[in-house]
Chain A
C-alpha cells in the first residue's frame, strides 16, 4: 500500500477492498475461536463432571484382602501396611560396607547369604527381608546405603490369634489364601474386588462370618480344659443355629496360630470337625430313631426285645449297658441299646435305611465354605450286617459337622439346612432347607433328647447347665486301632440342643481318647467327660446367645439371696 498511491478514487476503492478482507479475516478468526471455546467448555465443564475419577487405582506389591469380622463385627483378620527391604546388587558400590551396615540394624540376617545376594551382579532385584518394623526401617533408611530400598507391602494379620483359626485359615507370604475362609474368599473373587476398591473410600466390605467370637472363645476354653483334665489327645466343639444353619462356633484343638502359618501344617492341628471323618457311634442312633418314627414302623409305645445278644451271620451284637429285657422306645434311647436300634433299622429295611442316610447327606462330601472337607468313608457293600452296625453309628465315618447338621434337622421341625460359616438370615436358610423328617417326628425326637438329659446319659450336662433346658445324645465310639475296635481308645461325643421346648442352638462336643481320671470312678465313657464339658459350655454360652434360663423350684432357693458385704 505505501508507495502505490494512485488517485483519490482508486485509493478509496482499494481501501474498501482492504476493509472487506479485514472483515473476512476477523470472521475467520472469530469462527476458529468460537470452535476452540466451545470445545474447551465441553472438555472442562461437561466431560469433567461426568468422569473425574478415572485414575486412582494404586498398584501394590501385594493385593489387599477384605477384612474378616465375626457376626458382631469383631475384627478377626485385617491388612496392615509394612515395609520390606530390597536391594539392587548392580547399584551397590561396596558390598562389604553394605553387609556390615545392614546386619548392624538387622542382626538376625544371615551374613553369608547376604554377601551372596548382594554380590550377585546379574540380578537387579533381591528381597533382603520382608515385613520389618517402622523403627528398623527408619534406621536402615538413615544409613543411606546406595542400592538398598523399601517397598510398602500389605501384611495379613489375625489380631485374635488362635481364635477361630480353623475357620479363618491362613495366607501365604504373597497374601494368597491357602486354607479356610481365606481360600474361600480367593475362590469367590474377593481378592479381585478388594483390589478395585478405592483406598480412600474403604469400599471393600468385610466378610461377615457366622462365628460369634465370644462363644468361640468359651467353647475353646472349655474344650481345652477338658482335654487337659481328661488327658485327651484332642477335642472339638461346634455350636450351630438350628434355624439358619449358621455355625456360631467351631473349635478343634490342638489348633494353630494363623499369624504363623508354619504351625498350621502339623498333622495334629487338622480341623477335626470337617477335615476328619469319624465313626460317630451312638450319636447316630438318634438318626435311626428319627428314621423309624418317620417311616411309621415305630411309635413311642413300641417294644424291642433286647434279652439276648443279636446274631447276624457270624457276628454278635451286644449292648454296652446290657439290660437283658424287653425295652420300650424311650428305654432303648436312654440305655443306648445297640440291639434295639439295630432292630429298628431292620424294620425299616436295607433299602429304606440307605435311602434315608443318603437323604440326610451322610453319603456325600459336605462342603460348607471351608475347602478342607473330607469325604465320608462308607462300606463297599451294603448287607444286613452293615445296616445293623450303621444303625448305631459304626461301619461308616462322616465329618462331625454332618452329625450336628442332621441333629439340627431333627430338632428344628425336620428341615435339613446346609451349614454355613457366613452370616445368613432365617428366610434364605428356609429357602435352602430340605424336609428330612416330618415335624411330628421332630417333636418325638425333642422329647427323647430332653428325657435323656433328665434321666439318661446326659444328666451331668443338665445339672451343670441348670435352667437352660438342654437335651442330647451321647456317643462312646471305640476307635479302630490296627483294624480292630479297641476298648481303650475311645472317641466320645455329645450332641444336643437347647432350650428344648423350642430349640435354638445345637451343640456338639467331641473328645479324642479321654482317660478315666480322679472323680470319674474308673469310667471314661462319654457321660463322664464329653457330657459335663458340653454342660459347662452351654452354661457359659446360653447367656451370650440370649437364652433366658428357667429354673425349676428345686434349684431356686440358693439363688434368691443377694450377697452383702
Chain B
C-alpha cells in the first residue's frame, strides 16, 4: 500500500516538476517576446514621429509656395475661377479643353519622366 502511494507520489512529483519548469520557461520566453515587441513598438513610434516631423518640414506652406511658383504654372485661385455647382452646367466647355495626349509641356509629367 505504502509502496503504491510512494511510487505514485514520485511519479506525480516528476510530472509536476516537468510541467512547472516548462511553464516557467514558456513564460520567460513570452516575457522576452513582450519586451522585444515593446522595444520595437517604441522604436517604430519614434520613427513615426521623426517621419511626421520630416513630412511637416517638407510640406511647409512657405516651401510649397516656393516650389510651386518655380515648377508649376498654377497660381492661387481667383474669385472668378470659383463656380457654384448649380451653375456648373452653364460653364462647361463643349469639348474637353485639356487633352493630356496633346500637351507637350506638362511640368508635372516632365518631372515624373526626369525621375524615371
Is residue A468 contacting chain B, with contact meaning CB distance below 8 A?
yes
Residues from chain B with a CB closer than 8 A to the CB of A335 are none
Flag A531-565 by CB within 8 Å of B: 1 or 0 each: 00000000110110000110100011011101111
Interface size class of A (residues with CB under 8 A): 35 or more
Residues from chain A with a CB closer than 8 A to the CB of B55 are 75
Q: What number of residue pairs across chains A and B have CB atoms under 8 A from each other?
A: 88
Contact check, B53 vs A467: say whether CB atoms are below 8 A apart: no
Is residue B79 contacting chain A, with contact meaning CB distance below 8 A?
yes
Contact check, A78 vs B81: say whether CB atoms are below 8 A apart: no
Residues from chain B with a CB closer than 8 A to the CB of A75 are 52-53, 55-56
Contact check, B53 vs A562: say whether CB atoms are below 8 A apart: no
* CA A456 to CA B6, docked complex, whole Å: 110
In chain B, what residue has the closest Cβ to A468?
A: B79
Is residue B71 contacting chain A, with contact meaning CB distance below 8 A?
no
Residues from chain B with a CB closer than 8 A to the CB of A74 are 56, 59
Flag A65-85 by CB within 8 Å of B: 1 or 0 each: 000000000111011110000
Flag A217-242 by CB within 8 Å of B: 1 or 0 each: 11011000000000000000000000
Contact of A80 among B49, B61, B80, B84 (CB under 8 A): B49
Contact check, A200 vs B91: say whether CB atoms are below 8 A apart: no
* CA A213 to CA B2, docked complex, whole Å: 86
Stretch in contact with the other chain, from A113-121, A153-161, A502-510: A153-161
Contact check, B53 vs A78: say whether CB atoms are below 8 A apart: yes
Q: Interface on chain B toward A: helix, strand, loop, or mixed SS?
A: helix
In chain B, what residue has the closest Cβ to A18?
A: B2
Contact check, B46 vs A160: say whether CB atoms are below 8 A apart: no
Given the known inter-chain contacts A159-B57, A160-B57, A562-B97, please indicate yes or no for A79 contacting B49, CB distance below 8 A: yes
Interface size class of B (residues with CB under 8 A): 20 to 34
Contact check, B79 vs A466: say whether CB atoms are below 8 A apart: yes
Residues from chain A with a CB closer than 8 A to the CB of B26 are none
Contact check, B38 vs A161: say whether CB atoms are below 8 A apart: no
A209 to chain B, nearest CB (A): 14
Contact check, A159 vs B53: say whether CB atoms are below 8 A apart: yes
On B, residues with C-beta under 8 Å from A are 2, 38, 41-42, 45-46, 49-50, 52-57, 59-62, 65, 76-82, 84, 91, 93, 97, 103
* CA A564 to CA B94, docked complex, whole Å: 12
B91 to chain A, nearest CB (A): 7
Given the known inter-chain contacts A159-B54, A159-B56, please indicate yes or no for A539 contacting B62, CB distance below 8 A: no
Contact of B79 among A22, A214, A539, A563 (CB under 8 A): A539
Contact check, B46 vs A81: say whether CB atoms are below 8 A apart: yes
Contact check, A556 vs B79: say whether CB atoms are below 8 A apart: no
* CA A349 to CA B59, docked complex, whole Å: 55
Greatest chain A CB density within 10 A among B50, B62, B65 is at B62
Is residue A202 contacting chain B, with contact meaning CB distance below 8 A?
yes
Given the known inter-chain contacts A78-B49, A78-B52, A80-B46, please indicate yes or no for A551 contacting B79, CB distance below 8 A: yes
Contact check, B65 vs A559: say whether CB atoms are below 8 A apart: no
Contact check, B79 vs A565: say whether CB atoms are below 8 A apart: no
Contact of B56 among A160, A218, A467, A565 (CB under 8 A): A160
* CA A170 to CA B114, docked complex, whole Å: 41
Contact of B61 among A199, A214, A467 (CB under 8 A): A214
Contact check, B79 vs A163: say whether CB atoms are below 8 A apart: no
Residues from chain B with a CB closer than 8 A to the CB of A220 are 62
In chain A, what residue has the closest Cβ to B2?
A: A22
Q: Give me 6 A-to-B residue pairs in the complex whose CB atoms sit less than 8 angstroms apart, sorted by A's number.
A: A80-B50, A160-B56, A160-B57, A217-B61, A465-B79, A559-B78
Contact of B62 among A76, A157, A163 (CB under 8 A): A163
Residues from chain A with a CB closer than 8 A to the CB of B56 are 74-76, 78, 159-160
Contact check, A200 vs B61: say whether CB atoms are below 8 A apart: no
* CA A217 to CA B50, docked complex, whole Å: 23
In chain B, what residue has the closest Cβ to A157?
A: B53
Given the known inter-chain contacts A199-B45, A200-B45, A565-B103, please indicate yes or no for A467 contacting B79, CB distance below 8 A: yes
* CA A4 to CA B50, docked complex, whole Å: 86
Contact check, B61 vs A213: say whether CB atoms are below 8 A apart: yes
Contact check, B38 vs A200: say whether CB atoms are below 8 A apart: yes
